[in-house]
Amino acid sequence: MRFRVCGFFSSLVVPVLVALCIGTPGAALAFDTPEDAVHALVESLRDKDPDAFLKVVDLDSVLDASRAAYYDGTENGVLKNRAYPEVREEFLDSIASGTRAALCKDARASGCPWYPKGLEAGKITKTEENSAYIAVDSEEDIRSWLVLFKTDDGWKVSALPLSLKEAKIFASDEFRKHIAAYRDAIARRDQAYLDEQEQKRIAEENRPRTWDDIWKAYNENKTESEILALYKRVGSLDERTRNGSTFLHLAAQHAHVEAIDWLLKAGLDPNAKDEGERTALWVLAEDREPYKKAPGRIYDSAVLLLDAGTKPVDRDWNYQDIFEHTEAAGQGNTELLKALHDKGFDITRAARNGVNGLHMALRSLYNPTQTARLAEERFTEARERGGNVEAARKLHDAAQADLNRARAAAVTNVRLLLKAGVSPDQGDEAGYTSRRMAENGKVAEIQALMEAVPRKEETP
């Protein structure tokens, strides 16, 4: 049987029905007659007491009765709308503040029975042994209805019709059976939804992982152990991105030691290159923020790759050849440079244009030095001209911290390169030596390191 009634939802009743979505909290009170229930409802509205209101209004039944009117006995007849807790809270707040009762006092459309005086004057009509309805008039003589059911806990408000016809239908035993059928349909639908979600979860859990899955996991800051588990569930370790990056490149980008170790043992080629001729070792070397990696991670990653047979790459970049060691020196990557040296790589080799590791180590200070100088100028200007001193101070302190970090890395790299035998008097194609660069840069510790090396004729 289909109980849909025309005009069931109105602009006034929809917020109420949507709000009444969550079960009644607390223990119920037993109301022996419909009159007792209506009296308790009046008192709760006058006292602005949401808790007392909830004890006489069966919210689940009100909601189910309203939706069941649209149920035609098929699964398609189960309404899919869900109420939101904030809407329910707003409705109960209006009971606590008295605004709901004031609204219903002046109501000019049905669907607003929450008016104490109208409830007191309303006529209760029993339609069945266990059901009744009451007509409630507003000050504007607009009539609304409430249906009451006798439950195991006594009489309670259980439905909110919008017309006398609806009130009589809702207050029938037949309709109560219809509500029960509707609730069964809701339960079946909800269970079907849960089953579907569980199947999706299982399918997702068992799905082979891809390069993009692991890239996303890194960006979501998953733990290394979680990401390593994803590597072990990759569908094909031969997968590459459009630019030719392998899983080994990806692991190297994050200095993920355990992943690199596992991938190498799984047979990935440490000398595989992407379209930019970069190996995984190159990815480690060109890390622009090596200080953000945990201490030792870049070194350990590089050692694994070198022990696996990674060969040095002479990349032709912008018509200049560059090497892993010069790239590492230029990025302030002390751990990568040390790993190369410890594993016997020739870190003294200079490019065709004469640029060696010392040149690059000193060049790594250029940007941090300029940034710190500009930050100092802005800080001074803010203090002298009344600018935002605090903001300028933060920028100044951050820039100075970056410069100090870059200088410390440069000093470490210069010391290692000098120890390896790189000459500070070897010039680039313009005849510019790293010794002269250090003198111009005025980094005292680097100057001292170079002065400890006997001067010899500058070699172009």
Tell whether 3 is covered by a domain.
no
Q: What is the pLDDT of residue 197?
A: 95
Q: What is the mean pLDDT of residues 300-329?
A: 83
Backbone φ/ψ region at 277: left (φ over 0), alpha (ψ -120 to 50), beta: left
Q: What is the pLDDT of residue 78?
A: 54
Give yes or no: residues 166 and 309 share one domain: no
> Which CATH number covers residue 408?
1.25.40.20
What tens digit of pLDDT does each residue of 128-158 get? 889 999 999 999 999 999 999 998 889 999 9
H helix or E strand, kind and range, residue 319? none
Give yes or no: residues 33 and 105 share one domain: yes
Give yes or no: residues 218 and 175 share one domain: no
Say yes or no to pLDDT of 250 above 50: yes
Q: Among residues 177, 199, 221, which one ends one of the domains?
A: 199
Least confident of 13-22, 141-150, 225-234, 365-374: 13-22
pLDDT category of residue 87 using cuts at 50, 70 and 90: low
Give yes or no: residues 37 and 141 share one domain: yes
Q: Are 305 and 339 in contact (CB under 8 A)?
A: no
Tell whether 179 is covered by a domain.
yes
Say yes or no to pLDDT of 347 above 80: yes
> Residue 155 pairs with which residues in a beta bridge?
150
Give yes or no: residues 21 and 48 share one domain: yes
- Cβ-based neighbours of 127, under 8 Å, separated by 6 or more: 133, 168, 171, 172
Give yes or no: residues 26 and 122 share one domain: yes
Q: What is the mean pLDDT of residues 384-406?
A: 93
Give yes or no: residues 133 and 257 share one domain: no
Tell whether 321 is covered by a domain.
yes
Q: What is the pLDDT of residue 75?
A: 62
- Cβ-based neighbours of 111, under 8 Å, separated by 6 or more: 10, 12, 13, 16, 144, 160, 162
Tell whether 397 is covered by a domain.
yes
Least confident of 113-117, 318-322, 362-366, 436-440: 318-322
Reference 134, options 119, 152, 117; nearest CA is: 119
Tell whether 459 is covered by a domain.
no
Give yes or no: residues 89 and 176 share one domain: yes
pLDDT category of residue 65 using cuts at 50, 70 and 90: confident
Give yes or no: residues 109 and 144 share one domain: yes
Q: What is the pLDDT of residue 1?
A: 43
What tens digit of pLDDT does each residue of 181-232 get? 888 888 888 899 899 999 999 998 889 999 999 999 999 999 999 999 999 9
pLDDT category of residue 20 using cuts at 50, 70 and 90: very low
Q: What is the pLDDT of residue 16?
A: 38
And the tokens for 184?
């069964």
Tell whether 143 is covered by a domain.
yes
Q: What is the mean pLDDT of residues 80-107?
A: 79
Give the E-state strand segments of 189-281 in sequence order: none
Phi, psi values for residue 232, rounded to 5°: -75, -10
Phi, psi values for residue 148, rounded to 5°: -120, 140
Q: What is the pLDDT of residue 77?
A: 55
H helix or E strand, kind and range, residue 127? strand 123-128
Say yes or no to pLDDT of 29 above 80: no
Q: Are 111 and 166 in contact (CB under 8 A)?
A: no
Q: What is the mean pLDDT of residues 165-177?
A: 89
371 or 91, which is more confident?
371
Reference 211, options 175, 243, 237; nearest CA is: 237
The Cβ of residue 93 has, within 10 Å, a number of other Cβ atoms equal to: 12
Q: What is the pLDDT of residue 69?
A: 73
pLDDT category of residue 26 using cuts at 50, 70 and 90: very low
Q: What is the pLDDT of residue 82?
A: 44
1 or 410, which is more confident?
410
**In a 3-state reduction of DSSP, which class is residue 279?**
coil
Tell whether 205 is covered by a domain.
no
pLDDT category of residue 415 using cuts at 50, 70 and 90: very high
Give yes or no: residues 182 and 237 share one domain: no
Q: Among residues 199, 219, 244, which one ends one of the domains?
A: 199
**Mean pLDDT rounded to a whole number for the chain:** 87
Q: Among residues 173, 199, 225, which one ends one of the domains?
A: 199
Tell whether 457 is covered by a domain.
no
Its domain, for residue 359, covers 211-451
Q: What is the pLDDT of residue 21?
A: 35
Count structural domains, the chain.
Answer: 2
Say yes or no to pLDDT of 33 above 70: yes
Give yes or no: residues 229 and 168 share one domain: no
Give yes or no: residues 256 and 154 share one domain: no
Amino acid sitting at position 446: I
